[in-house]
Structure 1
């Protein structure tokens, strides 16, 4: 047990390079995607109407970091040239703004913050918010690229994707052009867009494949060089982190998290060498962290239903039929200060929780006497549920 602060760490020189928000100086193992991006974006440098782009790929494969990198390159190149072309980039995360209206308000406020002006509230209608957004775009007198990260969260509300590409054609802006870049984890996202939006967007697509083990090793070696002391890693550590992540998801984020946590395990033990056993412990830690993040992202009632199952599981009362779960859930919901949902909505939430892997649904057949029915059980660590819900 430590009783004093250390003057030196055993493993790390800079933990920041392992954080999710870290902006690397160089983008590794994405040359083809960067080249494709540049080809689509450079029309704007010649004063032409910007292309609309949708970027697809799983979580952690570099979509957002490459988008930020290439659009920064675009803005810098426009400043360097003497043609008088101004290019501006504004970005919002639709995971935090889940409707076209919320996204429009967020875009207005991002642009106002950039010029130290007062932000707008949320008391406007969608049309008013779009009018203010067009005014902000027009103030730039150039090309404005709007980046909608995690665009999937807009769901069926695709009105902003219909309006923005038509801004010039409808004379909402006269001195500026608007291009849209959407970033999606869902390869079927376009299939769910309305016909009018598809016709308006006419977007180009860039697809980011999962990283393979060799690519992940390159990325991990770079982060280790920047953030860890020399010779602290056993030779098998980076290959093992890369192989696990390549098999699971192809996510650089997962691989980096594994390497960081393996280093944390060794560092906490006071050791100056990270070994394979530390990676094994890191896998457990990272998986538990991802589970907790998933629980945090649930709706309030989703958490109540999951907590109800966790409590029943702790009392060895699972699996439960819906009629047995409902009174438990109702007590939990009221205890959390919420009005309980009806049976139909609880069933919908259970279906979602099953799809997400939090709940196991079993079909039981009791024959003619008992009939067929579903039972529900917890399929994740109950302690993780208790920890997150009690936060």
Structure 2
């Protein structure tokens, strides 16, 4: 496992990773402070979203608590033109790509289909179905090949795809099938799994008797395992892999070892299957605290900066709180507005059927009013 930042903040050297971090100015003091702020902000948004769900304002919430470095590092490692394909827990990825947290909350409230333009922000909508986004990512990558956007040597044009999924999804057939297509066609795809140790209540060791990083090697896809709570190790691994895919060297696989500090979703009770001692052990590896310790060792952060980040994070949480509480439910008929770019007879028939269904309740309301 590659680790550049130990839990106490101590920095280790790694020739290959250091070279790519330095070449991209990804590990300057200013950049590190930015990653720290990003992780503090997204954690505050995450905690507020959980609170809003408990208040009945969201239908569900999938927390990324503890996985901030695995996501902020990967999001910032991607180049502007790269296309990112997330699952449903990539709130740090969304933040790094410029997607405001309130857009995520609207989706979990059930009033939005996704809320951002995938083409503009180069980030696919969230995917709830486990592993289903992996074939989409490979297909997009194969399309890039056919469009002549891979291996040209043009750093501003060549493009790769980052496919994100969890350790549980890595056991799904769609992921294996995606490995087959990506390897066969040398698609410019980086498969990135955040191994947060639990697929709901099933631990990783039950899913696989070997490290997940080895799963892709049977397809001839090179892989690496990194400390997912180390933002620099994640960033180095993802930047190297995406650069290789973009250059036409084929797919790569990354396993980032991290930990889901919260429950699988707000409908789950992790205390029923996960020992408290394990949670305490991983709390000592907190990615935010780790980076703060490293910055302190560099004398690149002070209490004023920490306090400013905390204040901004609190303000963001309050903005989310008021935004969601102040929202009105949309007209349910808008569900049919953007299914296709042009009118479709099946959608139109469904629209009419649903309108008739809703009309029944309007009649009931009128009767009650009388």
Larger Rg: 1
Above 0.5 in TM-score? Answer: no
Alignment TM-score, normalising by the size of structure 1: 0.28
